Structure 1
Amino acid sequence: MTTTTTKNLLVELFVEELPPKALKKLGEAFASVLADSLKAQGLTGADAAVTHFASPRRLAVHVTTVDPQAADKAVSQKLMPVAVGLDASGNATPALLKKLQALGADASAVAGLKRAPDGKAEALFYDSTVKGATLAVGLQKALEDAIAKLPIPKVMTYQLESGCELPGWTSVSFVRPAHSLIALHGADVVPVQALGLKAGNSTQGHRFEAKVSPVVLKDADSYAATLAQDGSVIASFAERRAEIARQLAAAAAKVGGGCKPIDDDALLDEVTALVERPNVLICTFEKEFLDVPQECLILTMKANQKYFPLLDAANKLTNKFLVVSNINPDDASFVIGGNERVVRPRLADAKFFFDQDRKKTLESRVDGLGKVVYHNKLGSQGERVARVRAIAKAIAAQLGDATLVAQADQAAQLAKTDLVTDMVGEFPELQGTMGRYYALNDKLPVAVADAIEDHYKPRFAGDTLPRGDVGVVVALADKLETLVGMFGIGNVPTGDKDPFALRRHALGIVRMRIERQLPMTSGDLVDIAFAAFPRGLIGEAHTDVLGFLQDRLSGYLRDTGYSSAEVEAVMAATGRSSWADLPKRLAAVRTFAALPESPALAAANKRISNILKKVDGDVGIQVNDALLIEPAEKALVTALKSVAPVADSAWAAGNYTESLQALAALKAPVDAFFDGVMVNAEDPALKANRLGLLKMLHVAMNRVADLSKLAT
């Protein structure tokens, strides 16, 4: 390096095509780890701007204000206890001299050693200055860290090219074979190496449209502009993504009719990772394919071809689709025609599957489920369906009439039959969706058809719930069967591992119970589910399943914006009873917590709870007025008799906010009671009477929520 001034740094690894679904994370991780390492070594400041680049064939990072060498650093190093390092005469012991020698010092350094307390003893400390790392050394370490910590989905091992600068190496492991390395500090090449490559100042541009090869960079700051100009590559992932989105919108507007490309962030990210110079083209397929359910056509175009289907103003699929090409020829007709020829067989397959599947009813496929293995310990899908039917009928009997029971039973029987259709065999993502289409084709009730599709819902966080009562019943039954079955054979989620998505199933149950205001308790539902399993098939896990549901409930309520204290207060009061009114209780608790009387009442309630817990045996809810001696306890009883009926009446009417607000009037008499009354009186009768008063107060204050949980 020929300069000693702060400059910007550019590092690029040029490789073969990177895995598209991982590219965004790879680019972000490469940049952040490398920059963090430079900052940790003092080669750049904490406020340095870091820009990451990621294209199908490159990972790069630009870091501002990087020093050619880090500043020297003063360090104080503990050597050993004074008693070990110095003898009785104050001379250095052999142990101390050996330690100093290891640090590059000699006996002359003994006089400069510092003494300082270290626990119970006094220790010797050696002050020295560590020379700051040069950029070449620091960047080498940062580069190695960045490569080692990349979130690589699958590592490749490949042979190094002949003429490699690292003699003796024969192979290397990385996400894809690497071909060149750039490391520029300003205009100067930093002499680092990685993956068998020596750093330079050149890279490759677009495979077909680069204007020059190689693309030579004059300095770190010209990277993006030079690649765009000479290499025909948009290096920035974010800029390339934005350009694709812009072109997609423009192409849809050109088609007209209110058309818009399908909204799919994951697809947009993947396509961004597949092209270096995007060029959106409009393509067409035959309208006859629109007779196939649009979900099938959309899925095959997205999953297999990475196309963007076009929807009309009513969100119906059109026979137009958009292709993001990686080349920009003067005549795009060959590219358009090629893509149209490629998609046609895919759509024809979907149409064939749809036509063939409709030749058999869903009911005729029920027996086929007996040949499909669900789990080696839990039997076939046919056996599972029998359990889901039993659970669904039992739930429906408690929630509705005979019609709901019959339709829930039918939907549960047919819900999995589309698993043995050709369409779902080809596109598993369409399970449920195709079942609904085939049910309507069989002239089944719409409620049953909807339930067949909806029994998988909610599939993910934020997903909609089943649209009807039949769907809710079957979805509950399906998720309960999964939970109970898996817990019953010991397949319980651990840490981040949840292969059977039991947390998602439990959260779905929580959401349906609360958002659909179902009156059934967790105990009722879990008992019904366990009863559906043959004796001996699974173990006893009632408590574990109930606790698991309770945990998911707590998380769900916190995710809706309530604090842990508010959630704990409400859950402690409701236990495992019906959850239908939890939102109202939480809203009431939040309103109560905002009252000026709230902190004192919460603290008093906690004190009352602690007093009652220490009492042997049960405390009766009764007060003998004749045993009320102190003015403060008389005043509290009078206030309680006035407030309790108002709070109880509001609670019975479901007006939890008003019920809690009524308790605010108790603050002054409660405070006075604890200031002026000895609860644990020597007279047993007085003590029992005062405990009864506290019990009465405790019950009145905790019907909506356990207010002691709000105490800080």
Structure 2
Amino acid sequence: MSELLFEIFCEEIPARMQPKAEADLERLLGEKLTAAGLAWSSLTTFAGPRRLGLAIDGLPVKTQDVREERKGPRVGAPDKAVEGFLRGAGVDSLDACETREDKKGEFWVAIIEKPGRATAEVIAEAIPEVMKAFPWPKSMKFGEDGKAQRWVRPIQRLLCLFDGQVVDFEVFGIRTGNLTEGHRRMGRGPFEITDFAQYTKVLREKGHVIQQREEREAIILEGARTVCAEAGLELVEDPGLLTEVAGLVEWPVPLLGEMDPDFLDLPPEVITLTMKTHQKYFAVKKPGEAGVTSKFVVIANQLAPDGGKAIAAGNARVLSARLSDARHFWDVDQHVPPEFGGEVTPLSNMVGRLEDVTFHAELGTVEARVDRLTSLSKAIGKLVGADEHDVWTAAHYAKADLVSQMVYEFPELQGVIGRYYALAAGEATEVADAIRDHYKPQGPSDIVPSQAVSIAVALADKLDALFGFWLIGEKPTGSKDPFALRRAALGVIRIALENGLKLPLSRVLEFSGAAYREQFLAEGLLDLEAYSDVSDEDIDRAEAGRVAHLDVKLPEIVSDLLAFFADRLKVHLRDEGIRYDVIDAVFALGDDDLVRVTAKARALQAFLDTEDGAALLAGYNRASNIVRAEEKKDGEGAFEGELEAGYLAAAPEDQESALIAAVNTVKGEAQQALVAENFEAAMAALATLRAPIDAFFEHVTVNSEDAALRRNRLFLLSQIRTAVRAVADFDRIAG
């Protein structure tokens, strides 16, 4: 077995693209080799600022020989049929064929033998195809016409060895070889390579390059922790930043620097974000304390003669310059124009400027959105037990910081900056926290608001967006979701589930519709100055039409959004193993309480995973199918109702009497359990139907010649269907 080593050496690959590039190279080249019939024992990818490659061990030197038999026409068939068969099989004459015999007589069989191909030949064809089709998010075009290359950055070398020998091919005008290069300053090279082990050793010892991204991450994390511990401090760990920095350096050297301590009066989020976004530094804190210190960790890409002192000092100067800009923006935001001095706070001044910011052309300004949020937040606040004044205040100021200089410079801090400005204005901590948290959760790893005021405003923010964009027809389509509406719906789901909120979605969505209705009634549809020739009567008619459109669309929007939430809930519960059809079965009953729906879906899934659950589902499907088939003859709903008194008095079969008693018992027990929201008990009640249903179908003929018996037995099966559907619509569950 042999080894393949392949390396693309180029200008700097953006750090954020490197992990996916490794996965894409493994996938694309792996597919090509597998399609050629090659297998291997191990595959290792690597990526760095200036290289992308892989090593595959255990490859055969050639693909396997292939022997294929292709059936042809009967012996004695017309010449045209034989000629077509030979041409399709790729053989010259019948001499390369054999005859076989079946019940109908003899027929021709072409024997097609394809010798295996050299693996090096397969590689030489596969790699150029992979490189030319490589899915970089963005690429650049270089080189002369005819040999132009489209790659993430200009390619300088291609190294490709199989079994120690160069695999000769050309891509983008660059020919393969056995040379690689090391670190620009500490070991440029070039170096001659023989195999992967020697490649790794030479790069590390002579080239001062660690080609494995995972190893660089480990070195950075351990080294950063060490330099912090030596100073009696603790690293503020950031996995995303760690991966990014590992993609920027080839020989990582963690150094501890220090900025001007005067900047520590800025919010710690501003300092941390400046370090991370602009400089790629790690923040440092005191053990067991929140906030940050004036220290930071910078990852150098070389060993410095002075131990890195000059590098750390230079980075400290750059960071101080960045933080000076932040200080300027912070100070500007604290300023109130003289004409408002003493009358408004910086935060309330910002709220007044939201009328100049458009939220969406069809949905109005951010000021109009804030009005809707205050109305919707108050309605939701009553459902979650939040203080009405605090909810109104938090919603009123929630978007104020969007016009601040700080958020303009640091968009990631929207809400966070608003919290600081709210505290400076003397607002309660609960209000300030709600301003910060109303955007949350912004992803699966983000925290969920837990305070009542924060919950109310966060839910209002997401539900207002969902309703508004549904109203104007801007729904997510396929992979496109420009307004992050799927994330908003998942945010509502997480807030409800993780806080155990009994939230009637239909009612809350109607609150949102009412907020839009208030906006449409309160604002002029047209700018009167721009449309001075439009009569008041026309304007009134247009506004009335807008409101009427909303009133007509409201039921459709609510229904459509409930289905959208059902789909998002399926995604959210997928990792728990809850099946899509189970969630559909629960939602089909019209329940829109996410907590209750989820609890019922979990209980139903657990029940269906048992033997009793699977058997009951089969029995239900049989009963439902029989009733459905007979309803086609007698009319839909013909067998809904109570059993006739005479049938109850003397059911002719013991199994019928047992099933009647079981159904009557289960209906009561299941209903009590559902009212108490004890869904496990409801499932346990359903489980008792399994045995009597099985016995009934084993011993009783439903379609009896006796019309009364047939009618009542169908009534009985319909009651089974009704009793089970009270828990969930089992028709939606795949049997």
What secondary structure, in the 3-state scheme, does the structure 2 residue paired with 1:472 have? helix
Partner of 1:54: helix, strand, or coil?
Answer: strand
Q: 2 CA distance for matches of 1:92 and 1:567?
A: 57
The CA RMSD measured in Å over matched residues stands at 3.2
Tell me if the contact between 1:192 and 1:198 (Cα under 8 Å) persists in the aligned partners.
yes
Note the C-alpha offset of 1:209.
0.5
The aligned counterpart of 1:388 is 373
Residue 665 of structure 2 corresponds to residue 671 of structure 1: no
Which one-letter code corresponds to 1:488 in the other structure? Answer: L
List alignment gaps of at least 5 residues for structure 1: 1-5, 161-167
1:464 to 410, 430, 447: 447
Which of 285, 295, 303 aligns to 1:320? It is 295
Q: Alignment identity in percent?
A: 35
CA distance in 2, matches of 1:621, 1:98: 71
What residue is the counterpart of 1:157 in the other structure?
A: 141
SS in 2 for 1:440: helix
Superposed CA deviations along residues 360-399 of structure 1, whole A, max 9, x for unmatched, are 4322212211111222222221222222233223333455
Of residues 102, 119, 129 in structure 2, which corresponds to 1:145? Answer: 129
1:127 to 108, 111, 123: 111
Partner residue, 1:358? 334
CA distance in 2, matches of 1:122, 1:508: 70
State how many pairs are aligned: 682
Distance 1:190 1:698, change over 3 A: closer
**Structure 1 residue 227, shift from structure 2 partner:** 0.9
- Are 1:653 and 2:676 an aligned pair? yes
Matched letter for residue 282 of structure 2: F
Deviation at 1:311, TM superposition (A): 2.6
Deviations 1:136-166, CA, capped at 9 Å, x for gaps: 4322212112312323122211236xxxxxx
Letter paired with 1:601 = L
AA matched with 1:492: K
Does the 8 Å contact 1:609/1:698 carry over to 2?
yes
TM-superposed CA distance for 1:493, in Å, is 1.4
From the superposition, tell whether residues 133 and 641 of structure 1 become closer, same or farther in structure 2 (CA, over 3 Å).
closer
Structure 1 counterpart of 2:593, one-letter code = S
Q: Say whether the 8 Å CA contact 1:602–1:709 is kept in structure 2.
A: no
2:174 is matched with which residue: 181, 186, 197?
197
Amino acid at match of 2:44: T
Deviation, structure 1 residue 225: 0.6
Q: Does 1:246 align with 2:266?
A: no
- Paired letter, 1:278: P
Deviations 1:666-705 (A, max 9, x none): 4333333334445455666555544444444444444333
Change (3 A) 1:690 1:310: same
Q: Quick check: 449-458 or 528-537, which moved more?
A: 528-537
Give the match's secondary structure for 2:578.
Answer: coil
Change (3 A) 1:318 1:624: same
What amino acid maps onto 2:35 in structure 1? A
Is 1:562 the equivalent of 2:562? Answer: no
Q: Structure 1 pair 321/94, CA: closer, same or farther in 2 (3 Å)?
A: same
Q: Determine the structure 1 residue equivalent to 2:246.
A: 272
Contact 2:450 2:499 in 1 (8 A): no
Report the Cα offset of residue 641 of structure 1: 4.4
- 1:34 to 2:18 alignment: no
Taking the aligned partners of 1:705 and 1:552, their CA distance within structure 2 comes to 19
Give, in angstroms, the shift of residue 126 of structure 1. Answer: 3.8
Aligned equivalents of 1:148 and 1:169: distance in 2? Answer: 14
Partner Cα distance (1:264, 1:384) in 2: 34
The aligned residue for residue 339 of structure 2 is none
Q: SS of the residue aligned with 1:705?
A: coil
Partner of 2:340: none
**In structure 2, what is the equivalent of residue 616 of structure 1?**
636
In 1, Cα distance between equivalents of 2:273 and 2:358:
26
In structure 2, how many angstroms separate the alpha carbons of the residues matched to 1:640 and 1:394?
42
Q: Which runs of 5+ in 2 are unaligned?
A: 336-344, 521-544
Q: Which residue is 1:3 aligned to?
A: none
The one-letter code sitting in structure 2 at the alignment partner of 1:673 is F
Q: Distance in 2 between matches of 1:642 and 1:154?
A: 66
Structure 2 residue aligned with 1:632: 655
For 2:655, the aligned partner's letter is A
Q: Is the 8 A contact 1:278 1:326 kept in 2?
A: yes
**How far apart, CA to CA, are the structure 2 residues paired with 1:295 and 1:583?**
36
SS in 1 for 2:577: coil
1:526 matched to 2:509: yes
Whole-angstrom distance in 2 between the partners of 1:69 and 1:660: 60
Distance across 1 between alignment mates of 2:23 and 2:566: 37
Determine whether 1:234 maps to 2:210. yes
Deviation per residue, 1:494-533 (Å, 9 max, x gap): 2211111111111122233333333342321222222322
Does structure 1 conserve the Cα–Cα contact (< 8 Å) formed by 2:64 and 2:116?
A: yes
Match of 1:704 among 727, 730, 734: 727
Structure 2 residue corresponding to 1:604, chosen from 619, 634, 643 = 619
- Shift in Å at residue 555 of structure 1? 2.6
Query: How far apart are the structure 2 equivalents of 1:98 and 1:552?
Result: 55
Please report how far the alpha carbon of residue 484 of structure 1 lies from its aligned counterpart in structure 2 after TM superposition.
1.7
Q: Which secondary structure state, in structure 2, belongs to the residue aligned with residue 184 of structure 1?
A: strand
- For residues 654-674 of structure 1, give each alpha carbon's deviation from its aligned partner in whole angstroms, at most 9, with x where no partner exists: 322223323444433333333
Residue 57 (1) aligns with residue 41 (2): no
AA at the equivalent of 1:579: L
Q: Give, in whole Å, the separation in 2 of the partners of 1:705 and 1:221.
A: 60
Deviates more, 1:293-302 or 1:626-635: 626-635
CA distance in 2 between counterparts of 1:609 and 1:52 reads 55
Amino acid of the residue matched to residue 246 of structure 2? Answer: T
User: Secondary structure of the equivalent of 1:199?
Assistant: strand
- Matched residue SS, 1:580: helix
Structure 1 window deviating more from structure 2 (319-328 vs 487-496): it is 487-496
In the superposition, the TM-score normalised over structure 2's length comes to 0.85
Q: Is the partner of 1:467 in helix, strand or coil?
A: coil
- CA gap of 1:247–1:688, structure 2 versus 1, over 3 A, is same
Pairwise CA distance, 1:121: 13
- Mapped to 2, the partners of 1:38 and 1:115 lie a distance apart of 35
State the TM-score, normalizing by the size of structure 1. 0.87
Among 484, 487, 496, the alignment partner of 2:479 is: 496
Q: Indicate whether 1:447 and 2:430 are aligned.
A: yes
The residue aligned with 1:578 is 593
Could you list the per-position Cα deviations for residues 447-488 of structure 1 after superposition, in whole angstroms to 9, with x for gaps in the alignment? 222221121111111432222222222222211221122222
Q: Paired residue for 1:23?
A: 18
- Between 1:378-387 and 1:650-659, the stretch displaced more is 650-659
Given residue 421 of structure 1, which amino acid in structure 2 is its aligned partner? S
The structure-2 alpha-carbon separation of the partners of 1:687 and 1:427, relative to structure 1 and needing over 3 Å to count, comes to same
Preserved CA contact (<8 Å) 2:161 2:178 = yes
1:311–1:642 CA distance, 2 compared to 1 (3 A): same
